[in-house]
Amino acid sequence: MRFIIERSKGWKLASPNHAVPELRPHRDQTPKPMPALIEDYALVGDGHTAALISKEGSIDWLCWPRFDSGACFAALLGSPENGRWLITPDLPEGAEPPVITRKYRGDTLILETDFETPEGRVSLIDFMPVRDGVSDLVRIVVGRRGTMKMKMELVLRFDYGSSIPWVSRLPDDSGIRAIAGPDLCVMRTPIELTGENMRTVDKGSQYYTRLMTKLNDQETQIEKTQGEVDALQRALDAQRKDLEAYLQELNVA
């Protein structure tokens, strides 16, 4: 006698003459290439969690709202189908890729990524403000020169890419709300959003802003919003204050 595992039926006894069914994995386990080199990712955070952002403007990893929470963006370990938030130039097929440079603003975790082509230059500013009842992930697109068409793709997949949320528009039509069990995200933006193949995309714009908030405990607070510029200034002030306090502890400041 010997034991075999038959998918979805648990353990089963089999005799030597019993035909053993071929065992197949539940999902495709073929190794997939990473979306980007690990050294090409930058980090933004708020002290409770952190997001990894590729040079191309894709957030490929974020456990939210804490480091020990399940990831809602997990493309880093799989594919875009496992969740990502992409904001990048929408260039014609065959066009030269943009020149990409990026830096942190001063001594902060506010990330600025510049995309430049002969036609124009755009800055993408990513940061997570200090928490005030909710956890925010803010992305601001700023036109610096000329014109450049941009595109956005949001693929929310809770629980490390395994849970697809139910998505609906906010009552004031200022964005969308995504929920799956205890997990909840709200995106606010002035840009018109559409759903395509279980993704949320925009229609291609030259300038726009983005705000996403996430909270599990108090759903009512997640509906409040604040200006992205105000959030940026709050993040600058708070992170500089934290740095000064840290340096004073080290007797460096």
As a three-state string, the secondary structure of 169-206 is: ECCCCCEEEEEECCEEEEEECCCCEEEECCEEEECCEC
Q: What is the pLDDT of residues 14-32, one digit of tens each?
A: 444 544 444 444 455 555 6
Highest CATH level, class, for 34-247: mainly beta
Enter the pTM of the model.
0.74
3-state secondary structure at position 155: strand
Low-confidence ranges of the chain (pLDDT < 50): 1-16, 18-26, 205-208, 214-226, 252-253
Half-sphere exposure of 190 (CA within 13 A, CB side): 10
- For residue 74, what are the contacts with CB-CB under 8 A and spacing of at least 6? 60, 61, 82, 83, 157, 160, 161
Those residues with Cβ within 8 angstroms of residue 206's Cβ, 6 or more apart along the chain or in another chain:
143, 147, 148, 149, 150
Asked whether the beta carbons of 74 and 160 are under 8 A apart, the reply is: yes
| 151 Cα distance to chain centroid | 15
Phi and psi based region of residue 125 (left: phi greater than 0; alpha: psi -120 to 50; beta: remaining)? beta
What integer pLDDT is reported at residue 59 of this predicted model?
Answer: 96
Confirm if 139 and 129 have CB atoms less than 8 A apart.
Answer: no
List C-alpha distances in Å: 157 to 37, 40, 74, 215, 220: 22, 23, 8, 15, 22
Res 25: pLDDT = 46
Cα 222 from chain centre? 17
The pLDDT assigned to 13 comes to: 39
φ and ψ at 243, to 5 degrees? Answer: -65, -45
Provide the pLDDT for residue 73: 95
At 148, list the tokens.
């450049």
Phi, psi of 85 (to 5 degrees): -130, 105
For CA atoms 228, 176, 182, 43, the dihedral sign is: negative
